[in-house]
Chains A and B, each alone.
Chain A
Amino acid sequence: MALPKCVEMRVLSDPANLRVVREAVRRSAGEVGFSEADTEQIALAVDEALANVIKHGYDQQYDQPIDIRIEPVAESGRSGLGLFIRDFGATVDPETICGRDLADVRPGGLGVHIITSVMDEVRYESAEGGGTRLSMVKWRGHE
């Protein structure tokens, strides 16, 4: 069986591309060995991260670049999937990125909560030259 491969892609910040990215994430997560339920949650986390880039990083401009890398990772006898998203939009202070209080039921603001709930490691960084880099890892067998 071939080892899962790293996938890199650049997509435009058009919501129509979300479906394409989700499919790529599902395929990679499946190859790494995630369950169907975990695979769906990983795809959801990536979807939410990209939606935040489109809405906030690029202020709903649909023709801006987003770089995505989907990479099988291994460390200390465990394996998982790394997902790296880099945009070139408005630089956001990583310290200000947080999910909202879920007790306040209202539309919007759920994306960061979903990302941090689903993924085991989440790190936002200001990227050189502007924009934001988001690194996420989901480990297998880690709930």
Chain B
Amino acid sequence: MSKALRDVRQVGSTTVAVPAGEVDLQQSPGLYREMMAVCKGKPSKLIIDLREVSYMDSSGVSTLVEVFRMVNGYGGSLILLAPTDRVRSMFEIAKLDQFFTIFEDEQEAMKA
């Protein structure tokens, strides 16, 4: 079991990664490494389920931007699922809430 990612699962052609806890300067390097490992498989659609992330600072946001660049670079798509209010607030301050594709509903994210 990885530390930064609580779960990584395959649902059809979609890969779902589930980070958890407080993603700050201590945790984000581990999340970055684990997300890069997920991206090595070049999933055509990657959903990062943020429901269990209780806090995120700019180092966590930077990790998500890196993942976006990686996925976008090989022609895949990245969806962020249901960020908590704290995390969404962080996206808004960084003006990234319009940059990322965000879904609140898992089924809708799967169908997208």
Please give the residue numbers on chain A whose beta carbons come within 8 Å of chain B beta carbons, in ascending order.
15-16, 18-19, 22, 37, 40-41, 44, 47-48, 51, 54-55, 102, 105-108, 110-111, 113-114, 117-118
Contacts and interface: CB of A to CB of B under 8 A. Distances in A.
Interface string B81-103: 00001100110011110010000
A37 B86 CA distance: 8
Contacts of B65: 105-107
B86 to A, nearest CB: 5
Contacts of B93: 41, 44, 113-114, 117-118
B94 to A, nearest CB: 5
Tell me whether chain B's interface is mostly helix, strand or loop, or mixed. Answer: helix
B41 to A, nearest CB: 22
Contacts of A40: 86, 89
Interface in B41-78: 55, 57-59, 61-63, 65-66
B50 to A, nearest CB: 15
B101 to A, nearest CB: 14
User: Size range of the interface on B?
Assistant: 20 to 34
B96 to A, nearest CB: 7
Given A105-B99, A110-B62, A113-B94, 9 more contacts: A16-B26, A18-B25, A18-B57, A19-B26, A40-B86, A44-B57, A51-B59, A55-B25, A106-B65
A106 B95 CA distance: 12
A107 B66 contact: yes
A120 to B, nearest CB: 15
A97 to B, nearest CB: 15
B34 interface: no
A54 B25 contact: yes
A15 B26 contact: yes
Given A102-B95, A113-B94, A107 B63 contact: yes
B89 A51 contact: no
B96 A18 contact: no
Contacts of A102: 94-95
A11 to B, nearest CB: 13
